[in-house]
Amino acid sequence: MTFEEYLQSKRYSRVTISRYLAAVDGFTGWLQEERLTGEQTTYNEVVAFMRHLQQKGKSKKTVHSQLNILRHYFNYLISESRRQDNPAAGVYVRGIVRKLPNNLLSMDELEELHRRYELQLNVDPAKKIMLGLLIYQGLQTEEITRLEAAHIHLKEGKIFIKGSPHSNERWLPLQAHQVVELQQYLAANRFKEGVFLARPVRADASERNISNRMRHMIQQLQKLNPKVTSANQIRSSVITSWLGRYHLRQVQYMAGHKYVSSTQRYQVLSSDDWQSELERHHPMG
């Protein structure tokens, strides 16, 4: 399998694959000048290549991006049994700080928000269901727009989330009260193939319809709790809460993250721990 085929198997877009191939070509060209191969590359060579890019005037952001691509390249070599380790795994660029989730809501706050929202008599039942999916399954808005009635398995008390180029498919448990809500909603509405929570009475039900409802729901939630800012904030809060209760790899699965690094960014550190982590980043100041 070539590196290009490896990336295709990971369902990367053509644009991303093209960018990754170009970056790896630059790296392997540098290795040839050093009379090395990808299989022979060590941590020291990766550091030297990062310095080489900096000396050519590349920004820290660009060097950081190239480093991430090299991690994929070495993972490819590992998958092909051409090496056993990833020498780029322990290399970081000082000054590139990962974005951490902020303004998070506690699980108690989220559940209180859900309870108060459920008591609102004039709220569309579909929006109540969407809020539950945000809080208890940590879904993205985009994932909710792709839900179909067939994905709801009430007898098993589970819901199936389809994968995408940016997320993995997964099965998630439903809360008991969610099963009741969904059962009532399914009984009250007839669904054709397609979007589950779009208005079934409308012929033009679409992703835009779901997004509009989500936006209106967030506005309603802000009246109940001014700390609420977005659906993404709720999802970040849920994933961060999960990390306090479950193993990292389990949370990766539940969140649908393709890479564990995407889950790790939700591991909120204390200010002292975060400063210590930054001081360990290397090789470039």
pLDDT at position 134, please? 96
User: Residue 103: which pLDDT band, with cuts at 50, 70 and 90?
Assistant: confident
Of residues 75 and 95, the one with the higher pLDDT is 75
* Residue ranges matching CATH 1.10.443.10 in the chain: 107-264
Mean of all residue pLDDT scores within the chain = 83
pLDDT at position 92, please? 62
- Look at residue 255 and tell me whether its pLDDT is greater than 70: yes
pLDDT at position 284, please? 46
Reduce the DSSP state of residue 259 to 3 states and report it. coil
pLDDT at position 196, please? 64
- Look at residue 25 and tell me whether its pLDDT is greater than 90: yes
pLDDT at position 203, please? 40
pLDDT at position 267, please? 74
- Look at residue 257 and tell me whether its pLDDT is greater than 80: yes
Q: What mean pLDDT is predicted for residues 24-46?
A: 92
Q: Are strands 92-93 and 283-284 parallel, antiparallel or unpaired?
A: parallel
Tell me the angle at which helices 231-243 and 107-118 cross, rounded to the nearest 10 degrees.
130
Please identify, in words, the CATH class of the domain defined by 107-264: mainly alpha
- Look at residue 162 and tell me whether its pLDDT is greater than 80: yes
Sheet architecture: strand order including 152-153: 152-153, 158-161, 170-173
pLDDT in tens, 195-238: 566 554 444 444 457 778 888 999 999 999 999 999 999 999 99
Two tokens at 275? 């400063």
Q: What mean pLDDT is predicted for residues 163-189?
A: 90
Of residues 47 and 265, the one with the higher pLDDT is 47
- 199 CB-contact burial (10 Å; exposed 0-12 / middle 13-18 / buried 19+): middle
pLDDT at position 95, please? 54
Q: Cα(198)–Cα(189) distance, rounded to whole angstroms?
A: 11
**In 162-276, at which residue ranges do the beta strands (DSSP E only) sit?**
170-173
Q: Scanning the structure block, which residue is given the tokens 């699980």? A: 107
The stretches of 225-270 forming alpha helices (DSSP H) are 231-243, 248-255, 260-264
Contact 234, 110 (CB under 8 A): yes
- Look at residue 10 and tell me whether its pLDDT is greater than 90: no
Q: Is 11 left (phi over 0), alpha (psi -120 to 50) or beta?
A: left
Give the lowest-confidence range in 32-36, 69-73, 121-125, 244-248: 121-125
Provide the residue type at 225 as one letter. N
Provide the residue type at 118 as one letter. E
**Integer-rounded Cα radius of gyration of the chain:** 23
HSE toward the beta carbon, residue 194, CA cutoff 13 A: 14
Q: What mean pLDDT is predicted for residues 259-281?
A: 57
- Look at residue 112 and tell me whether its pLDDT is greater than 50: yes
* Residue ranges matching CATH 1.10.150.130 in the chain: 3-93
Q: Scanning the structure block, which residue is given the tokens 């809080």? A: 135
- Look at residue 120 and tell me whether its pLDDT is greater than 80: yes
pLDDT at position 241, please? 92
- The CATH superfamily assigned to 3-93 is Tyrosine recombinase, N-terminal domain (1.10.150.130)
Residue 55: C-alpha distances to residues 46, 70, 256, 284 (Å) = 14, 18, 38, 11
Q: Scanning the structure block, which residue is given the tokens 């990833």? A: 86
pLDDT in tens, 139-155: 998 898 888 888 999 99
Cis omega (within 30 of 0) on the bond before 173?
A: no
Q: What is the DSSP string of 51-105?
A: HHHHHTT--HHHHHHHHHHHHHHHHHHHHTTS-SS-TTTT-EETT-PPPPP-S--
pLDDT at position 101, please? 61
pLDDT at position 30, please? 94
Q: What separation, in Å, do the N-terminal and C-terminal C-alpha atoms of the chain show?
A: 37
Two tokens at 258? 């393709």
